[in-house]
Chain A
Amino acid sequence: MFPRPIQKASPAAQITYKTLLPISLILWLLPLIAVAIFSVKPAADFTTGNYWGWPSSFEGVTNYTRVFFDSDMPRYLLNSVLITIPTVLGALALSCMTGFALGVYKFRGNFLIFFMFIAGNFVPFQILMVPVRDLTIDLGLYDTKAGLILFHVAFQTGFCTLFMRNFIRALPYELIEAARVEGVSEIKIFWYIVLPIMRPAIAALSVLIFTFIWNDYFWAVVLTQGPGAQPVTAGITSFNAQFGVAYNMLSAGSIVAALPPVLMFFLMQRHFIAGLTLGAVK
């Protein structure tokens, strides 16, 4: 293990380490802690200049209730859910198939197609912006959730294919060959043999894509406008316009908008990290 385990160090060093841990964490999360404190303060604290002092009263319940009942926030949150979940399902469905095809079969063009998916995944969004927006308008899907979903599914398929293909590559190939010898059709091999053992990859990708799509801002701004279809990342700017300099409300709104991926992360931490660190270990 590197660095040397702290248990082998002197007692003084151990105590120093154990005090440094919480201090460094507080410093690291300071901006967030500040926002959390803001969100339970009354509006009056900001008009009287009490930004960093002790809250004059605790208004957490009032502030968060207002986020849900006095603004379009619930709509934006619902939109985000209705955009994110279908995208995750769609991208997973497509990439299970592409990953299977690229991971299992040897054919001409395999590498080329694989690289097309990887390269496409890295391109700047802006080179797609104008054409994708025009396409979405032509399809009559501008300012709809479907328009956003279709694009997200297509784009995420790139990253998901990379992930799935590499995962399938690491599986024992004998399994598939044995099934073939038995005369099992390819579609049944996919459905009954490969798909069940891909469950960890599917879990990892779903949390990861959930987070990516929930946090998307750029495409939300390019393809939607207004509370009808806009997800919460774009909606929060209108929310902020509504509440102006009421920092307590702005903070509460931000926390609500950021919460779902955070919950997802803490609930499915192992899968999340497995997904992010794909390839970080040989």
Chain B
Amino acid sequence: METPAVPQSAYQPVQRSWFQRNQLKLAPWLFLLPGILFFLIYVIWPIAQSFYISLYDWNGLGDIHEQGTYVGVQNYVELAGDRNFEISLWNNLKWLVLYLLAIPAGLFIALFLNQNVVGIRIYKSLFFFPFVISQVVVGLVFQWFYLPSNGLLDSMLGLVGLGPLNVLGDPDLATYGIIVAGLWPQTAYCMILYLTGLNAVDPEQVEAARLDGAKGTRMLWYVILPQLKPATFIAFVVTIIGALRSFDLISIMTNGGPFGSTRVLSFYVWEKSLSERGFQYGYASAIAVVLFLIMLVFIAYFLWSMYKEERAG
């Protein structure tokens, strides 16, 4: 750009206030202030507080320093020998592994629906439907689906001479029953991610690969999936977080039972503090800290990936 030729003498420095002169430095902080304040008070600081509470034996009543006793890492030592904690941990692992099935299932449905026929848009929206409904309702719906003898599942099993199956009443089956309920909306979510991703697949590459004789699964694996990588990444993030956050479905469908067999860490925290069997706030916080640390591994990995992306782009 050319600087317009202005005679030096005509230049009159404008009087500007301190704020105006420093605007560029101050502005971001002023814009950030309310958001950061809220976030620090309600998210960051409570995390630190939970770490702190986990070092106490406290029933949640009154001030922690007056009513509670400092016990150091005692809560964590106790956790190591807690059978229920062990069950919760195992169930979390089951959730984590099985929940990932939502990703291939979502991809499968997305491939099935990625066509141009009359009414396909409505089909896509209706397939997405389960994700929009609250998990509470999903839980109730599946609870009725599993009703012993009268539920839809048993009625269908009955037609082929099987059953009856009391899925939610069987300690060996209940967790899987809940996971299936959770997979329903989660698959819908992954499907929509992949549908969007498929929309953006480069048609020229596909055509070129077709000319080279690629088709079917080989085409999917070598040409399509690499282009769907961003969608797959997001699907992983939301599915893993979703699996570790599972609480609503368990609370609605079995309330941790039968015999505590469907507990996961998030539910166990709740049980040990706010439920009628609870009031061990220090111990509950210790469980929450463990869950947080498990999640932190994934969060760190996600942030690392995003950081690399940001640097590259």
Report A's interface with B, CB cutoff 8 A. Answer: 1-7, 17-18, 21, 24-25, 28-32, 34-35, 38, 49, 51-52, 94-95, 97-98, 100-102, 104-105, 107, 110-111, 113, 115-120, 122-133, 135, 150-151, 153-155, 157-158, 161, 185-187, 190, 211, 214-215, 217-218, 221-222, 233, 236-237, 240, 247, 250-251, 254, 257-258, 261-262, 264-266, 269, 273, 276-277, 279-282
The residue of chain A having its C-beta at the shortest distance from the C-beta of B25 within the complex is: A107
Given contacts A17-B117, A122-B295, A185-B23, contact A115 B303 (CB under 8 A): yes
User: Quick one: closest A residue to B269, CB to CB?
Assistant: A126
Asked if A123 contacts B234 (CB within 8 A), the reply is no
Docked complex Cα distance between A84 and B47 (Å): 25
Contacts of A115 in B (CB 8 A): 303, 307
CB-contact partner of A130 in B25, B29, B50, B151, under 8 A: B50
Is B99 in the interface zone, CB < 8 Å from A?
no
Closest partner residue, chain B, to A107 (CB atom): B28
B-chain residues with CB within 8 Å of residue A34 when the two chains form the complex: 141, 144-145, 152
Also in contact, A127 and B288, with CB within 8 A (given A154-B42, A257-B137, A281-B196): yes
A102-B32, A129-B270, A233-B136 in contact; A135/B46 too (CB < 8 A)? yes
Contact A30 B46 (CB under 8 A): no
**A28 contact set on B, CB distance < 8 A:** 126-127, 130
Q: Is the CB of B23 within 8 A of A131?
A: no
B132, A262: Cβ atoms closer than 8 Å: yes
User: Is there a chain A Cβ closer than 8 Å to B81's Cβ?
Assistant: no
- Contact, CB under 8 Å: B306 / A35: no
In order of increasing CB-CB distance, the 9 nearest A-B pairs are A154-B42, A215-B134, A131-B46, A101-B31, A98-B35, A105-B28, A131-B49, A186-B27, A154-B38
Known contacts A113-B36, A262-B132, A280-B234; is-contact A122 B247 (Cβ 8 Å) = no
Given A215-B136, A262-B133, residue A127 in contact with residue B47 (CB < 8 A): yes
The chain A residue with its CB closest to the CB of B41 is A154
A25 and B127 contacting across the interface, CB-CB below 8 Å: yes
Q: Is B125 an interface residue (CB 8 A)?
A: yes
Known: A130-B273, A154-B41, A215-B133. 7 other contacts (CB 8 A): A6-B116, A28-B126, A101-B27, A128-B50, A129-B288, A133-B274, A215-B136
Given A217-B134, A281-B199, does the pair A113, B32 have CB atoms closer than 8 Å? Answer: yes
Residues of A within 8 A of B310 (CB): 111
Q: Smallest Cβ distance from B268 to chain A, in angstroms?
A: 9
Q: Which of B138-194 contact A (CB under 8 A)?
A: 140-142, 144-145, 150-152, 155, 184, 189, 192-194
Cβ contact within 8 Å between A130 and B60:
yes
Tell me, in angstroms, the Cα distance from A104 to B28 when the chains sit together: 8
Q: Tell me if B203 counts as interface (CB < 8 A to partner A).
A: yes
- Shortest C-beta distance, B168 to chain A (Å), equals 14
What number of A-B contacts does a CB cutoff of 8 Å give? 280
| B266 contacts chain A at the CB level, 8 A cutoff | yes
Q: Mark B280-311, 1 if CB is under 8 A from A, else 0.
A: 01001101110110010011001100110010
**CA of A190 to CA of B41, assembled, Å:** 26
The one of B46, B115, B274, B307 in contact with A5, judged by C-beta atoms closer than 8 angstroms, is B115
Complex: A24 Cα to B47 Cα, angstroms: 44
With both beta carbons as reference points, the residue of chain A lying nearest to B129 in the complex is identified as A29
Contact, CB under 8 Å: A281 / B231: yes
| Contact of A6 with B115 in the complex, beta carbons under 8 Å | yes
Contact A130 B285, beta carbon cutoff 8 Å: yes
**Contact: B114 with A186, CB < 8 Å?**
no
Q: Measured between C-beta atoms, what is the minimum distance from B103 to chain A in Å?
A: 13
Contact (Cβ within 8 A) B35 A95: yes
Q: How many angstroms from the CA of A258 to the CA of B130 in the assembled complex? A: 10
A218 CA / B267 CA spacing, docked (Å):
10
List of B residues within 8 angstroms of A125 by Cβ: 245, 247, 266
- Tell me, in angstroms, the Cα distance from A95 to B36 when the chains sit together: 10
Is the beta-carbon distance between A218 and B50 smaller than 8 angstroms?
no
- Between A and B, 7 residue pairs with Cβ closer than 8 Å are A2-B111, A2-B220, A97-B35, A126-B269, A153-B38, A258-B137, A282-B200
